[in-house]
Structures are given as C-alpha cells and as structure tokens.
Structure 1
Amino acid sequence: MPTEKQPDKTDDRVKAAIDALTALPFVSDPLPGIGGTIKATPEHFVVEEILPYTACGQGEHIYVTFRRSGWNTADAARAIQQRLKLAPTDVGYGGRKDKTAVVEQTFSLRCGESRPLAEIERALAELPFEILAIDRHRNKIKTGHVAANRFTIVVSQPEPNALPGAQAIAERLAKTGIPNFYGPQRFGHGWQNVKRGFALFRPLKKVRKNPFMVSVVQSTLFNIWLKQRMETGGYGQLLKGDIVKKTDTGGMFTVEDLAMDAPRFENGEIVYTGPIYGFKMKPAADAAGEIEASLLAQFGLCAEDFRPLRSPGSRRPAILRPDELEIGESSEGLRFTFTLPSGAYATMVLREFTRST
C-alpha cells in the first residue's frame, strides 16, 4: 500500500514559534529599566572565554588563543582552517561568540606533532587576529568545552541617573535569578535560523545532518517552555516531577517530595531544568512532565522525530545567576562586569536592565 502523505506543518510551526519568541517576559518587572544601547561599538562588548583546563605542552593539537573583533566564530574558524590548509574537522572551539564584540577565544588546530609552533604562528600572523597564547595539547576542543565566559559590557546612553536604577534591578535579580533564555543571535537575522531549523522536520524529507539548526529548534522550544512557565506563575517555585540540578555538584534528580525540595530550591542549592528535546532526553514527570509533553505536541512533534537528526537532547538550567556582577559608571554610560557559565547569554542578562526585547 502507498504511504499516506503526511501534512507539512512547517509554516505553522515557524509562525507559532516566532510569535512566541518576539515577546519574552522580564523577571525584573515592575522595576523601570535603564534604557540605553548594547554593542554601540565592539569595544563595548568584551568577552573572555575561560577553558576548564590549560594546554599541557604535548600532543597533535595546537591551542591558539586569539583576540578578535568583527568576526563571528564560524568565520574565524574557517579563515584559520584555510590559512593552515586543514580540514574543517581539524579546527575545534568550545562555543560560538558574537561578531560585534571584542572576543578572546581559544581554538584547537590538529596540525600534528611534527609541525613547529613557530611555523604555525607565522602563518596565523597573516590573519587580522591578535595571538595571545599558543601551545600543544592532546585533545580537540569540542562544543561545550568551556568553563565560563567573563564579560565587560558598556550600556551607552542610558536614562539619566541610571546607576541607582541598575543597582535596584541587580538586587532583585540576586533574589529571583535570571531566566536562562537563549539569546536572539541564535535565531538568526529575521528568524532565518528558526525557519531553516523547522524545515529539517518536514515529513519524508531526506535528512542532512545539521546539528546547529537542530539546536535552534531545541532552543526555540526551550524558550517557549520557559516563557510559559513564567506566565503561569511557575518560575519562582518547583513543580512535582521537575528534574533539578544540584548547583554544587551538577547531579540531577526528579522532584518527588515538594515539601523536602522546595527549601533547597529557595536556598539556591538546586535549580529546575527545562527540556532540550531529543530522542534520549530524560523527561520531567507528573505535572512538570505533562507541561513538557504538551508543548512538544503543540508543535506536532515527538521525541522520536529527533532520532533521524541524531540529536539525543539534554536538560538546561532554567534560572541563571551571574557571578561577580559589578556595575559602575563610565564616560559612555554604565559598565557591567560578570561571569556566566558556558551556554548562557550576556544579552539576556542585560535585557533585564535595559528592557530591550
């Protein structure tokens, strides 16, 4: 018997996703924002990547730390690869960084143990990047191999007398945490990445591996899940069946006894996580699980739809707490410095202050 043609829901999925993503809530409401502009110049947005380890001095991979501006990570990696005549898979990095920024980031380059460091450094000197460090290591830097990112950001032209307002917002965020939304840069100009990502889920479509575009769909669904949780009053509390993460060890477990675990959540010992949907993702249970399953069904998807795309899924902490947050005045506005874990977005921290959407 011929296979019944399945309806293509791509356009409906994309429209629903974009409608939801364009109006994310603020946890700092009703405090007034400070206004201002982020990234007026690249020098106003400085990010320093912190790796969980240092190069050991031996191995076939060369770790090179660059300072660059005006280049996104993928384009920088391509330029390095072409300059050294490497295969694309020979170049590794821990995460994507903004184009409109001054970025310090380390790349791993599989050049072999016999190729001299001096030769590699001379070749890379032709690129418009400043080389800060170079050494050997045994393994490639893969996505997620980042301990944290340190940010120094200037918000230019804020409202008059903005510092007290910013400090009041910071005090509130210290109590509530910050919604760990994915930033708009992940979704592309004009939401193009959202459109391309959902197109991978067309019925009977011959699937071509594209991990980043699949992750855009996962990020989209996570943001919508978190937005709905905030709008239904569940942001500041645990639900039965939540999968939570211990903030000290990273261990995870399912909430079964709210009376026991709620105080630990309030004290910051644990944080609930949201779905990065995939065929192996551990789903929440009970009330929390019903919400996760309902959202996926709302988009006409199921966990098995991610299997042909080789995306197992994971969990993401829903609440973010920046480390070492400091706010001060500068000649051009307000200067913010803070550290975020890998995968968190500085723009989503700053939006709570500026009220930019």
Structure 2
Amino acid sequence: MLNVETFITDTKPTGGKIRQSNEDFYVEEVPLQLPSGKGQNTWIQIQKNGRTTLDVVLDMAKAMHLSRKRTGFAGMKDRSAITRQWLCISNITPEELPDFNEILHNVEILDIKANEKKLRMGQLKGNKFKINIRNTNNPSEDVEIAQEVLESLKQTGVPNYYGYQRFGEVRSTTHLVGKCLVEGDVKKAVDTYIGNPNPEEHDIHYEARKLYDEGKLQDAYDLMPKSMRYEKSMIKQLTDSQRKHGNLTEKDYIRAIESLPKPLKRMFVNAYESYLFNKIVNERTKVGINKYLPGDIIIDSEEHWIHDIDEDTIQDDIDNFKVNPTAPLIGSKVPFAEGIQGEIEQKVVDDENITKEDFMCPKTPKLGSHGIRRSVRFKIDDTHVEKLDDGIRVEFFIPRGCYATSVLREIIKHNV
C-alpha cells in the first residue's frame, strides 16, 4: 500500500503471497437491495475473472450500441480476482438483452432481473471476501495468528487505507496523474498516463509507452493492443489535433484527458487525495485510530458529522463503533481538524507544497474536488480462518469503499 509503513497489531508475521491466481481472491458485493423483478431498468448479476468492471460495462454498451451513460454499477471491482456484482442497463427490458454469455469474455451471467430504479455508484452495504494466502511460514500456526489479528481488529477497527487498486497495481501512476492535474500541468498528466513505462509491464505495453515518450505518437498507437483502449483514445485525440493545426497546445492535452470515460478521469485527482489520505492515516495510527483526540472531527456510522461532542461519552461511542475519528480526502473546501490531528493534516499538505485551493484544478475544473472527511478506520465482521495445504484462507465482510488489503497486511506483516 502506498504511503503506509505502520502496523497496529503486534503478532508474528504469517508471511505469504496473495493473488497467486485470480481464484485466490474472491469478492462478492452485498447490495443495499436486490432488484424487484419489475420496472423499466434491467439489473444483471455477473461473475468476472481477470477483468475490470469498467471494461465489462463498456463492452456491454458497445455490443448494444448504447451510450456508456446508460450502464451503472455500485462499485469498481478489481481485475486480478474473481468478483461477483450487479450491473445495470437503464430503460431496457431483460428480453431486449443479447446473450452476453456469448459476447463477453471471462464473464458469466448469473441472474437478470428488472427493477424500478437504476443502480448507482455506492449503492451497496459492503463486500464479502474469501482470500487464499499462499506459502505462509507455518500454516498450522498461521491460522491461530490470523485469528488473533482479526479479533484484535474487531476491537480497534482496521486502518482505512486505500489499496493499490486505487493507484494501479503494476503501474502505480493514477495518483501521479492526479498530482499533475492539481499542480496545473495537464501535458505532464497526459504524458504520465500514456508514457512513463514500467519494466514490470508486458513487453508490448512497455515498448508502446516508450515510443510515446520518444514523441512517436502514431507508432505508439499502432503498437498498443486493445487492452490499452484508454491510452489509444487519448493518442487519437492528440494525433487528430496535430493533423489539424500542427503543434500540440495545452488545450489539445485537455481534450485528450476529457476524451476518457467519466469514471476514469474523475479517478485521477481522487487517487491523489487517496495517496495523501494514506499518509495522514499512517501518522494517525501512531497515536491511535480508536481514540478520541481533542480537535478531532467525528462522524457517525451514517457518515454524518457530530457537531456537539460529549467528551464524557465520546470514547465509549468510539469503542462501540457508533462514531469514528476522521481524516481528510484533501480538497478545495474540506476543513482540517484541530489539535494533534490537524497538525498531521497540515504537515502533509506542506510537505507536498500544495494548498487546498489547488484541488479546484482551474485548467480542468470538472476533475477538481472539494474533498470530504473519511473515517480513519472501518469495522470488520463475519471473520473466519482455515488452513490450506500451503497457507491459510481468510474470510470477512467489510463496508463499501474499504480495502481488504488493509486487513491482509496486518496478518502478513508486509505491504500488499
């Protein structure tokens, strides 16, 4: 995990590896409600393997010649996993759908039902995980260690870090693109996203990005495989502009960013906020994520601010997970805490040499962010551990927007 160094449990490390295969990492969304079977919108439950949620909905929209805006989902699910979730296509009946099992690769259609309402981002309770940790130090002993860690986390809560999925797992650059946008360097943002090759990438991806960095835009475009659809769309925007009026201008790079799907381009600044949030929470763990500090901004379980804090009862409420201390996803309007927590937040901003106002992103204002306060911890439930031949399997439920890797790193005792 980026910007994360500390652990809040002190057990021996189990060691081990996750994601040796996609089958080792199973995620199932738990929706707020199931489709009713009636209505003008169609919900589709899928199980996918090795594909992102956005890739699947784009393929659905393309197959039906529909705008991507007519598709919806509650959460973005990872590529390197087996994931189960509901998707939605608005203003269409189940009978009008093609046979997606024949069209979508590595996707199984589990259920199709009509519903009155569309499915929108965030409309889920949380996610169930079943994760195999392979090649642990001593599987028999590691079961007990993992159980001890999970019991401890049930008491304190889990540090609410953002995982590598937020930043890109092989090429962790999403937050770097966001930083460029916050700093107002749009060309650098585009160059960072398309170019900037990573030696751990597939050879073709590496070579295509290298060609882009060398200024050979058309050669880069021609070499890029279909899986680099977003990079290709940006290069096409740039080459079209280049043909029209010669040298590329800042406006051309802005158009290239704007050519991306809304969920993706909104993710850049959000990822930079997440990167800074991780650093703030990492510092907060050193003084306690389950303790009230004077000056804290507190939210309840519905994420409503607690304006009148009763210092006689606040610690009991934290202990019972009725309320939580927060840290900022830094943005143009988010308030900082006071006291020790406020000092942590201000130092992170100062170290980055930015201001909150920079998050307005005046050159790309639609991609800016006002910021919000987010809990520094989350609750974990329904835990279970069992022994495998070469490791352990851990199961748990966590709320929406929280990352399983925050749990796993406390068991393994290294960043994942």
* Residue 155 of structure 1 pairs with residue 148 of structure 2: no
- Residue 126 (structure 1) aligned to one of 99, 103, 119: 103
* Residue 217 of structure 1 pairs with residue 272 of structure 2: yes
Contact 1:239-1:258 at 8 Å conserved across structures: no
Q: What runs of 5+ residues in structure 2 fail to find an aligned partner?
A: 187-250, 259-264
Q: What displacement does 1:243 show?
A: 1.6
User: CA RMSD for the aligned pairs?
Assistant: 2.3
Partners of 2:31 and 2:181 lie apart in 1 by 32
Q: 1:82-130: CA deviations, max 9, x gaps?
A: 11211121221122111121111111112x24xx423414255421311
Q: 1:110-160: CA deviations, max 9, x gaps?
A: 2x24xx423414255421311111122233322212211111111122121
* Number of residue pairs the alignment of both structures matches: 332
Equivalent residue, structure 2, for 1:246: 300
* Residue 43 of structure 1 pairs with residue 33 of structure 2: no
Letter in structure 2 aligned against 1:158: T
Partners of 2:73 and 2:89 lie apart in 1 by 9
TM-score by length of 2: 0.74
CA 1:44/1:117 → structure 2, altered by over 3 Å: closer, same or farther?
Answer: same
The structure 1 segments of at least 4 consecutive aligned residues displaced by more than 4 Å after TM superposition are 204-209, 254-257
Partners of 2:3 and 2:330 lie apart in 1 by 21
Partners of 1:216 and 1:72 lie apart in 2 by 17
Partners of 1:356 and 1:69 lie apart in 2 by 26
Contact 2:101-2:108 at 8 Å conserved across structures: no
Partners of 1:64 and 1:260 lie apart in 2 by 45
Structure 1 residues 194-273: aligned runs within 5 Å: 194-203=175-184, 205=186, 210-231=265-286, 233-247=287-301, 249-254=302-307, 256-273=309-326
Partners of 2:184 and 2:61 lie apart in 1 by 36
Partners of 1:255 and 1:302 lie apart in 2 by 29
- More helix per residue: 1 or 2? 2
CA 1:296/1:22 → structure 2, altered by over 3 Å: closer, same or farther?
Answer: closer
CA 1:123/1:172 → structure 2, altered by over 3 Å: closer, same or farther?
Answer: closer
Partners of 2:391 and 2:340 lie apart in 1 by 45
Letter in structure 2 aligned against 1:118: E
- Residue 403 (structure 2) aligned to one of 345, 353, 357: 345
Identity %: 29
> Alignment partner of 2:398: what SS?
strand
> Alignment partner of 2:130: what SS?
strand
Equivalent residue, structure 1, for 2:37: 57
- More strand per residue: 1 or 2? 1
Contact 1:80-1:124 at 8 Å conserved across structures: no
Partners of 1:33 and 1:254 lie apart in 2 by 40
Partners of 1:52 and 1:121 lie apart in 2 by 27
> Alignment partner of 1:271: what SS?
strand
Partners of 2:175 and 2:320 lie apart in 1 by 36
CA 1:254/1:228 → structure 2, altered by over 3 Å: closer, same or farther?
Answer: farther
Q: What displacement does 1:23 show?
A: 4.5
Partners of 1:283 and 1:23 lie apart in 2 by 21
Contact 1:242-1:255 at 8 Å conserved across structures: no
